[in-house]
Amino acid sequence: MTALPGARPVRAARGTTLTAKSWATEAPLRMLQNNLDPDVAEDPDNLVVYGGTGRAARDWASFDAISRELTDLEQDETLLVQSGRPVGVLRTHEWAPRVLIANSNLVGDWATWPEFRRLEAMGLTMYGQMTAGSWIYIGSQGIVQGTYETFGAVATKLAASGRHQHSGGSLAGTLTVTAGLGGMGGAQPLAVTLNGGAVLCIEVDPHRARRRVETRYLDVVADSLDAGLELVLAAKKDRKALSVGVIGNAAEILPELLRRGVEVDIVTDQTSAHDPLWYLPTGVSLEDWHDYARAKPDEFTDRSRVSMAAHVEAMVGFADAGAEVFDYGNSIRGEAQLAGYERAFDFPGFVPAYIRPLFCEGKGPFRWAALSGDPADIHATDRAIIEMFPENEGLQRWMRLAPEKIAFQGLPARICWLGAGERHLAGLRFNEMVASGELSAPVVIGRDHLDSGSVASPYRETESMADGSDAIADWPLLNALVNTASGATWVSIHHGGGVGIGRSIHAGQVTVADGTELAAQKVERVLTNDPAMGVLRHVDAGYPEASAAAEKVGIQVPMAQS
């Protein structure tokens, strides 16, 4: 795509010299810049960070204005950002967030892709995805532990169901087939190989596939489907971990694999199906893709949905043949259903299938980034986490694997799944490490919007809730209010992330640990209350595991069933 006017390379400053007036404003400035670092963003010239068109700012003039305002912002001021454009600076107080962000929100009846695009073309909004428009994207690493845990849960399920008895709970001896090697989907091959399995990844864009090899997420790109299959089937037979990319359209290749009777154990998908203009239909070339989508969005949407229906039909075919099949949070089932494919929802989403028990404890992808830019700071925090949670085996395994296997993109960062009763301990420890000089500069602490208490997303985080409350969207709004009231440094409310316009409402927070006493108080409250919202959301929906978690960590529930 041609670059937006004003495009140029952006990279966050490193070190301890401030451009802004305090770390509370330097932090959002560096994280905004970091989201657009060419090593981090998928298409920085167009301000696209990941996930189809997930942007960090509306246009380059808005980017410049946000940067300018953050540079000048005082400790008792708050910058308001409306879908990537700074719209006001208001006097608040030092406990208030320095930035409040609302992205892509539309009134219910108007919440459709065509209406969103009409408004976007008029320059009135932008698509913020989840962490793109809330300035806490950290590259493919941001998703990799979640993907790793999900594939680990699949391995455990396969072993327990007797379908794969000799695996010892790993994916050794299994073949996974998936598609999409973009910003988030690119984590899949590494997540499978970290679990010991073989994986074939279908991707239409050779540049995307090569990028994953360069960043060590994918082992190799095969010259052809046959060559790729030979490699992964040999790895499956030898119980070796191997990830292989093949270039092609998933809507053609997956049905072809089914026709050939290839023995696939696990099937999922992370193409950008949430936005039909970002899923390439069969019969359209890579070169024509975006011009065609721009010129004839309705026709393109119809064609892309028909292809998604063929893709999902093949996924159902694999499920019928006994494979473990799941929707990986991109809404492909919903799109296939819109094309008239009736069995689209015959396989589950990954949250009800594997993740909900973790959500009941407020667990989810917790992350932090070193504003110094020094990898040593992250390695010091890695050691701190390993010391702090010795009893958590999964976490211990992850925290030992991650430094060895994960290449940093942009500012060094780390992710791990921690829940209620844990996150504030980590945050306070990091703040102490900044105060003592163990870390060379402050860190920012945030999380994904793929989260237990800050998302309403009936095709994903809140699919099949026990009480049927899938579409209730009060929770993310309460979450944003609670984080604002607790001292977060920036707070955001988004619509449409992950699964597309009309299908989700979600909120984010990022808090700076700058080593001060004030930061300690804010960090403790935010990192206690934010995951507590996840526990409360699931207590309210009737999950006994959530009630147990609330009791364990002392979260008050006014109408608890006793």
Q: Which residues bind ligand NAD (CB under 6 A)?
A: 42, 50-52, 143, 146, 179-185, 202-205, 208, 249-251, 270-274, 278-280, 328-330, 450, 498
As given in the structure block, the two tokens for residue 134 are: 């809330």
Please, which residue, 149 or 540, has the CB nearer to ligand NAD?
149
Q: Choose the catalytic residue: 360, 416, 418, 536.
A: 416
* φ and ψ of 286, to 5 deg: -55, -40
DSSP states of 368-385? EEETT--HHHHHHHHHHH
Q: Which residue is nearest to ligand NAD (CB)?
A: 182
DSSP label at 309?
H
């209010």: which residue's tokens?
481
Please, which residue, 19 or 282, has the CB nearer to ligand NAD?
282
Question: Smallest gap, in angstroms, from Cβ of residue 273 to ligand NAD?
Answer: 5
Question: Smallest gap, in angstroms, from Cβ of residue 94 to ligand NAD?
Answer: 34
Residues 417, 365 contacting (CB under 8 angstroms): yes
* Residue among 250, 256, 258 nearest 279 (CA): 250
Question: Smallest gap, in angstroms, from Cβ of residue 131 to ligand NAD?
Answer: 9
Please, which residue, 268 or 484, has the CB nearer to ligand NAD?
268
Per-residue exposure over 51-66, b if at least 16 CB sit within 10 Å of its own CB, e if not: bbbbbbbbbbebbebb
Residues 505, 104 contacting (CB under 8 angstroms): no
Q: How many angstroms separate the CA atoms of 457 and 121, rounded?
A: 26
Helix (H) or strand (E) holding 298: helix 297-320
Q: How many angstroms separate the CA atoms of 168 and 171, rounded?
A: 8
DSSP label at 78?
E
Please, which residue, 69 or 269, has the CB nearer to ligand NAD?
269
Q: How many angstroms separate the CA atoms of 353 and 254, rounded?
A: 22
Sequence-separated (6 or more) residues with CB below 8 Å from residue 285: none
Question: Smallest gap, in angstroms, from Cβ of residue 554 to ligand NAD?
Answer: 30
Does residue 360 carry a catalytic annotation? no
Question: Smallest gap, in angstroms, from Cβ of residue 75 to ligand NAD?
Answer: 34
Phi-psi group of 506: left, alpha or beta (phi > 0 → left; psi -120 to 50 → alpha; rest → beta):
beta
Question: Smallest gap, in angstroms, from Cβ of residue 31 to ligand NAD?
Answer: 18
Please, which residue, 197 or 498, has the CB nearer to ligand NAD?
498
Residues 548, 535 contacting (CB under 8 angstroms): no
Please, which residue, 510 or 523, has the CB nearer to ligand NAD?
510
Q: Which residues are catalytic, by number?
A: 416
